[in-house]
C-alpha cells in the first residue's frame, strides 16, 4: 500500500520508468553569498551550496553527465536521467551561461528532465523566457528553497526574501508550464509543530507540484553550527522527526508529489543530528512508524 505519493510513483506514471538524478554543479554563485542579497548565506548552508555530491559541469556538460551516469550505472542500465543543477542558485548569473549549460544538458539523449534549483527571487524576465524555451524541448522542473512560511524563522535563517516572492514565483512558473518543487525544512530553531504543519499546508495549497521535506542538518562551517554549539537550540531526535514528518504528510493534499522525506547531508560535515547519517536505519524507522501509525498523505485534509 502506498502511504504517500512518491517520486517513483510520479516518474512511473509520467515517464513509464524510474529516472535517476545526476547532480550537476554549473559553477553558479548565490546572491545570498556574494553581497547582492546577503553575504553570509543561509544560516544552514555549507560552502558547497547544498551540492555536496554534484558533478562539476561548468565547461563540459557531456562529461559531467557521463561521470554522473557511472555512479548509478549498475542501478539504471539503459535508463534515462534527470539532469539536476543542484549547487547554489542556478538562475543567477549571465543568461548566456545558463542558456549554454541548460541547452547542453536538456539536449543530451539520455536526459529526460532538466531540473534547476534556485531562489524565488532569481526568476526575472530573461530567465523565465529561457525556461519557456527549454520547456518546449523536454520537461523542466524548478526547485525553490522556501524552507518555512514564518517570517521570524526566515529572518533567523537569513533567507533574504519574503513569502509573497515565493507566491509570485510559483504563479509565474506554473503559468509557463514548469513543474515546481518546494523545499521545506523540519526542525528550524523555535518552530513549534503547528508552525511546521502550517508551512506544509501552505505549500500544499500553493500550486507547487512537489515538495522536498528535509530534516534540519547542522553542518560544519555554518553559523547554524555556532548557535548549536552555543546551546541555543537542540537538534531533533529521530522519534520527534518521525512524528513531525508524519504530521506534514497527513496535511499535504494527495496530489502533491513528495520527492524527499529527509535529506542527504555530507556525512563528513554533519554535526547533528548524528542519527541522520544512518540512512538505512532512518528509512526502516520511517516505514515502521508509518505502518504503526497508519500515516497516509492527505488524511488530515479530508
Ligand atoms: S540560497 Fe541556497 S546556495 Fe544560497 S546561501 Fe541559501 S541555501 Fe546556500
pLDDT score at 148: 98
Ranges of H-type helices in the chain: 7-15, 61-72, 95-107, 125-135, 151-157, 163-175, 193-205, 223-229, 238-251, 279-292
Answer yes or no: are the C-beta atoms of 186 and 237 closer than 8 Å: no
In ligand 1, the atom with minimum distance to the C-alpha of 44 is 7
Which residues contact ligand 1 via a Cβ below 6 A?
A: 30, 32-33, 41-42, 45, 49-50, 88-89, 119, 145
Cell triple for residue 211?
A: 515538495
pLDDT score at 75: 86
pLDDT score at 166: 98
Counting ligand 1 atoms within 8 A of each CB, the residue from 41, 46, 119 with the most, and so the one to mutate, is 41
Q: What residues of the chain score a pLDDT lower than 50?
A: none
**Ligand 1 center–CA 45 separation, angstroms:** 6
Any idea what DSSP says for residue 54?
Answer: P
**Ligand 1 center–CA 148 separation, angstroms:** 14
**Ligand 1 center–CA 296 separation, angstroms:** 32
- Closest CA to ligand 1's atom 3: 88
- Closest CA to ligand 1's atom 5: 41
* Full-model pTM: 0.96
**Closest C-alpha among 275, 250, 276, 256 to residue 265:** 276
Counting ligand 1 atoms within 8 A of each CB, the residue from 23, 27, 40, 49 with the most, and so the one to mutate, is 49
162 — alpha (psi -120 to 50), left (phi > 0) or beta?
beta
**Ligand 1 center–CA 30 separation, angstroms:** 6
Which CATH number is 7-294 given? Answer: 3.20.20.70
pLDDT score at 257: 98
Amino acid at each position: 500500500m502506498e502511504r504517500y505519493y512518491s517520486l517513483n510513483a510520479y516518474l512511473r506514471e509520467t515517464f513509464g520508468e524510474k529516472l535517476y538524478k545526476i547532480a550537476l554543479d554549473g559553477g553558479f554563485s548565490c546572491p545570498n553569498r556574494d553581497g547582492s542579497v546577503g553575504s553570509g548565506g543561509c544560516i544552514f548552508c555549507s560552502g558547497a551550496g547544498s551540492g555536496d555530491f554534484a558533478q562539476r559541469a561548468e565547461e563540459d556538460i557531456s562529461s559531467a553527465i557521463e561521470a554522473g551516469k557511472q555512479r548509478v550505472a549498475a542501478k539504471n542500465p539503459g535508463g534515462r536521467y534527470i539532469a539536476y543543477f543542484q549547487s547554489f542558485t542556478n538562475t543567477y548569473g549571465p543568461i548566456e551561461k545558463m542558456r549554454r549549460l541548460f541547452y547542453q544538458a536538456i539536449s543530451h539523449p539520455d536526459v529526460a528532465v532538466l531540473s534547476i534549483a534556485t531562489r524565488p527571487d532569481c526568476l526575472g524576465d530573461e530567465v523565465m523566457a529561457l525556461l519557456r524555451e527549454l520547456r518546449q524541448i523536454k520537461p523542466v522542473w524548478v526547485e525553490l528553497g522556501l524552507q518555512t512560511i514564518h517570517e521570524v524563522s526566515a529572518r533567523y535563517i537569513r533567507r533574504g526574501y519574503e513569502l509573497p516572492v515565493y507566491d509570485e514565483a510559483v504563479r509565474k512558473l506554473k503559468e509557463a508550464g514548469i513543474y515546481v518543487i518546494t523545499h521545506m525544512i523540519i526542525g528550524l530553531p523555535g518552530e513549534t509543530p503547528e508552525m511546521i504543519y502550517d508551512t506544509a499546508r501552505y505549500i500544499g495549497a500553493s500550486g507547487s507540484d512537489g515538495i522536498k521535506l528535509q530534516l534540519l542538518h547542522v553542518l560544519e562551517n555554518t553559523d547554524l553550527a555556532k548557535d548549536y554549539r552555543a546551546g541555543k537550540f537542540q537538534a531533533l531526535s529521530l522519534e520527534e522527526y518521525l512524528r513531525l514528518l508524519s504530521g506534514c504528510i497527513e496535511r499535504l493534499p494527495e496530489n502533491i508529489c513528495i520527492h524527499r522525506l529527509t535529506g542527504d547531508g555530507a556525512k563528513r560535515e554533519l554535526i547533528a543530528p548524528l542519527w541522520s547519517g544512518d540512512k538505512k536505519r532512518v528509512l526502516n524507522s520511517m516505514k515502521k512508524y508509518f505502518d504503526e501509525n497508519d500515516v497516509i498523505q492527505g488524511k488530515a485534509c479530508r
